[in-house]
Chains A and B, each alone.
Chain A
Amino acid sequence: MKADYERYHIAAKDAPPKIKLPPKFIVNRYNNCTNAQECTQACIYGVHELREDSQIAEPIQDLCRGCYMCVLKCPKGAISIGINPEFERLGNPYFSPDKIKTIYFEAETGRVPVSGAGYTGPFAGEGFDSIWLDFSEIVRPTRDGIHGREYISTSVDLGRRLQSLEFDENEKLVSNVPRTIEIPIPMIFDAPLSCRTNRNLQLALAKAAAGLKTFAIVNAREYSSDLTHYEANLIPRIDSDEIDEFEDLVKISQIVEVEFRGGEIKDHLEKIKATNPSALVSFYFPYDKEAPERADAIARMGGDIVHIHVDDGVVERDPDAIKNAIRSVHSHLVDKRTRDKITLIFSGGIAEAAHVPKSIILGANVVAVGIVYQIALGCKVCYGTMHSQDCQMNVENGDVELATQRITNLIGAWRDQLLEVLGGMGLREVRRQTGEVGRAMFYEDLEAKVFGDKE
């Protein structure tokens, strides 16, 4: 008998990048080397190898992990190790070189990054870095999810929820239960930045979304015919002024995202529901001070999903922006008693695995992963300033499979890390994490409580 239950699993497969990152360390050997070969003995990573003529070859920079054993063991002081300036120039202050290195590791292997020694970073930071996650100890049981010993669900529902069910006198359900779509991970893909979008990237994204059973957002104007095969996993994003133009896309999609540019929310909704009554409607707009009000209005009017975006460039300058955006929208909807009616998606500034549970704790249901998957494919986080000649993010015709696997690996690694966090917190499902700020500790609060004047 065929089991009707299938445990969700993301299959990782090694997917080395087309262009490697520059190595973190630079190993120099000076010309006072006397070929004592102590370094070849000292290095367990194979940086220092012998040539065929028994002389020491040039150091293989890529393999160096900065242990300094060659420096210490060289009798002549002929070796030095330094940080590679090219590595340090990667990314920007927000997407730091180390973050990019981690993204590459996750995309290549699909594994959870594990390392020795304690944490090496700053005491605290801004934005997501000002949050520590809670965990269970003694009095609250944890769950052992990562090694499969206990089942933890990472599924979430997209769509509208009823606050209560109504029945008539014959105990027959009279409420019209709205449609929801369950996805097995609380992550969807945001549309790629427009600077380097091509059909191959869209295709890889669509394939990854289909394989992961989640969704990818595609700008309606870039929705090419070869994507229609993956229509079940694509969300077209349509400008609110242009809904009529993309009637065909609305018809075939399970979810339609309206990029809100003004006009009446109700009109947009009706237009889409008239064309495709079963489609879920998501409203997409950048965060501003009217965003909480607008989200509330959408919840009242019958929208299914609100997707609020904080520009990655804004988060780079002010890492608190995304944190504040999520908190203010979530709290506003809680105050207005409309929070549970809709699904909240946030995007922008999502740079590492921990940002997913942190966003959810702050109040998101789902996170739209954006620039990170582009970094995994070679994006240098220039926000369009370098233009095409330096841009290394180009998915060639033959690379779609590789790109798909790298995106899949990345999300697989992130899901496993989400499981680690949920397990540590003792949560059985990620749905229960939304808005649970009690499960987070905030730098500002602790600092004020312990070292400030506040009791």
Chain B
Amino acid sequence: MMQKELLFQVPEIKPAPSQYPGSIEKYEVIIDRSKCSMCGICAEVCPSYIGASPIDYEAYKKPNGYLRLTVPKVSCTGLSCKRCVNECPNSALSVELSPQYLALGDLRWTADLILSTWEQAEVGRVSKKHEYKIGDSGGGFDKLRFEFELEHKEIHEDDLVDEENRDTSIVLNKRKDGRPEIKIPIPVYGADMSFGSVSLNVMLARAKAAEAWNTFTSTGEGGYPDVLTQYKNHVITQVATGHFGVNAETLKRARIIVLKYAQGAKPGLGGHLLADKVTPDVAEIREVVPCISLFSPFPFHNVYSVEDHYRHVQLMEDVNPQALISVKVSTPTDVDMVAIGSYYAGAHILQIDGGYGGTGAAPDIAKKNIAMPVEYAIPIVHNYLVREGVRDEITIMASGGIRTAFDVAKAIALGADGAVIGTAELVALGCKRCENCERGKGCPSGIATTDPALKYFIDIDWGSQRIINLYSSWKEQWSYVLRKLDLKNIRELRPNDEVQFRKGRFKHMVHLDHLR
């Protein structure tokens, strides 16, 4: 394994444009037909139209009486340009936010975050056109800033180019217990998503990207499809309460085994896979009858105490003496007690999945109301483990609502070692957060689906390249943060002592609501 790490080469960014002819644009140019003389000046001055002829300006009628220019595959750069508006001799043009943009996304994943993630997946870097750091939820990561962000509001694209390319690697086993250390070059790995919640192509694309970045992805609770074994060094085997496809073979194959005690989106509840998505393929791998809704039990009925938990972890360690054991928990009031329990049970990795985490299907009441956001849980757990003197013997991976490179950096600055990324990877594959993954054919974009036809929307090579590109862009942003903070590597970003905000400040971080 050591050798592999030395040989690791940062994967190349290759363009992976959208596979569709249309696009969702942030801006659109509206033309008032009654004023337009069809002179074509607008086409000539448009920076996006360099080389295009005025013929590309095809005007057509909108139902409300206005007209709109077609802009096939060419993006309007937005309100900062407005050259066409200013140059139009008849004042016939205006630039507006497009209705698509206004309808897309939500407070956590804003339209800007979705579009910027797509952009990063396509070209491997960010542009200034979209906000790519924060959402609009009004709290947590969206109110936290690095102190240097208060000085310059925007990152210049030149800022991001980092010759030094700082070290963003983390180590997953800190116990020094003879098991492999497992170093990953970026502080993230892929979240648990089952075969059933997502398609096989998506799993393979994610696994291939994980291999390229020498990090991991996870089987989720739906079993270990055979074709995934080609990436077995980069696939985490999940043991969840449904125990689908959990056997000695799949456990022995894995370098990391994750015991899923709870999931942030539906804490206290078992997995939900509604009947429509239990196709014969899914049923076979889960060893169940097709077309029946699968509600996993909750909790593990062999784990009702911290002693049971110890035995559970030990059992996994016995089955696979080389594997690291990750314990995935959500965030109840006593999440710190759970954390210390898992430490003493022998876990190498503690994954804290916050209440706003993703899911393929969960009751709305659970998604909104149960468990605390991860922004609170990270420092609570970190501080407790620091006080107990064991913080440096366990790796904390945060998940559940971590959307951007800056979210990851903030999670680390709050006390996590790294993050586990789910939704962002799917957004890179074209997810629009439309919330329709749970029933029927599942995902219309062919991501969270088991429909045999829809799954072909996602090409494995294309998909893995999109995820590779996203992480390339993220790595660049982490390097930028480290350079701004004058830190050599991302491990230094994680505080060693307790996180304690004073007047809204803690080390490199400020919280805008508490800043005094």
Please list the residues of chain A having a beta carbon within 8 angstroms of any beta carbon in chain B.
Answer: 25, 28, 30-32, 42-45, 65-69, 71-83, 102, 112-124, 131-139, 141-142, 144, 146-147, 149, 352-354, 358, 417, 420-421, 423-426, 438-439, 441, 446-447, 449-453, 455
Contact = CB atoms under 8 A, between A and B. Distances in A.
B467 interface: no
B62 A73 contact: no
Contacts of B20: 72-73
B24 A71 contact: yes
B435 interface: yes
Q: Is the interface of B mostly helix, strand, loop or mixed?
A: loop
B108 A120 contact: yes
Contact of B369 (A25, A133, A142, A438): A133
A137 B357 contact: no
B196 to A, nearest CB: 12
A284 B496 CA distance: 56
Given A123-B138, A425-B268, A452-B514, A441 B102 contact: no
Contacts of A451: 501, 504, 511, 513-514
A32 B444 contact: no
A68 B513 CA distance: 35
Interface in B100-121: 100, 102-104, 106-109
Nearest to A39: B22
Contact of B62 (A25, A28, A72, A141): A28
Interface of B: 18, 20-24, 58, 60-63, 68, 70-72, 98-100, 102-104, 106-109, 137-140, 142-143, 261-262, 264-265, 267-270, 272, 274, 295, 297-299, 303-306, 308-309, 329-330, 332-335, 337-338, 341, 355-373, 375-376, 379-380, 400-401, 423, 431-441, 443-445, 448, 454, 499-504, 511, 513-514
Contact of A82 (B99, B359, B431, B439): B99
Given A30-B61, A83-B102, A118-B367, A138 B341 contact: yes
A81 B24 CA distance: 10
B295 to A, nearest CB: 5
A452 B364 CA distance: 30
Contacts of A65: 434, 436, 444
12 contacts: A25-B103, A30-B63, A31-B61, A65-B444, A66-B432, A68-B432, A80-B98, A118-B356, A118-B357, A138-B329, A139-B341, A423-B298
A69 B63 contact: no
A200 B496 CA distance: 67
A449 B376 CA distance: 9
A118 B401 CA distance: 8
Contacts of B142: 123
Contacts of B297: 144, 149
Contacts of B355: 119, 132
A372 to B, nearest CB: 15
Contacts of B305: 138-139
A82 B103 contact: yes
B22 A75 contact: yes
A65 B267 CA distance: 27
A74 B21 contact: yes
Contacts of B513: 447, 451
Contacts of A124: 138-139, 373
A453 B100 CA distance: 42
A62 to B, nearest CB: 15
Interface centre among A68, A113, A117 (most CB of B within 10 A): A117
B363 A114 contact: yes
Contacts of A117: 358-359, 423, 431, 433-435, 437
A410 to B, nearest CB: 14
A283 to B, nearest CB: 31
Given A80-B99, A131-B369, 8 more contacts: A30-B63, A72-B21, A112-B363, A114-B363, A115-B361, A121-B368, A123-B143, A451-B514
Contact of B364 (A79, A114, A137): A114
Contacts of A123: 137-140, 142-143, 373
B511 A137 contact: no
